[in-house]
Amino acid sequence: MAEFGILRAGTLASAVAATLPLVGAGDTYLIETVIIQNEPGQGPTVGIGNSLVCPFQLVAGANVTLNIDRLDKVYVRFPAAGRVNWLAGSK
């Protein structure tokens, strides 16, 4: 299991397509990993990917872990109003 020195978390809700928020402008570290979870108990499947494609389709409660350096590179597509939870970490 990875150990992280800095963690950030949040919820993205009720959008058609959006990026995860960029971690604060004053932060000088890079994100190494982000875990994205479709809200448990939610009906619609949520697409996770970049600005062109969403290769990850998350059903309610499912999650995906991505090794990535910036949160704003991750796009979330909601087929209907929905919610995703995210947790990002760096060393």
Q: Which of 31-45, 47-61, 72-86 has the lowest mean pLDDT?
A: 72-86
List the structure tokens of 59. 């059903």
Q: Determine the pLDDT at residue 21.
A: 61
DSSP helix/strand/coil, 49: strand
Q: Determine the pLDDT at residue 43.
A: 74
State how far the Cα of 76 lies from the Cα of 83, in Å rounded to an integer: 10
Q: Determine the pLDDT at residue 15.
A: 61
Specify the length of the chain in residues. 91
Residue 84's pLDDT band (cuts 50, 70, 90)? confident
Q: pLDDT by residue (tens digit) across 36-57? A: 999 888 778 888 988 788 899 9
HSE (side-chain half, CA atoms, 13 Å) at 59: 0
Domain 6-85: CATH architecture, name and number where available? Sandwich (2.60)
Give residue limits of the domains in the chain.
Answer: 6-85
18 close to 12: Cβ distance less than 8 angstroms: yes
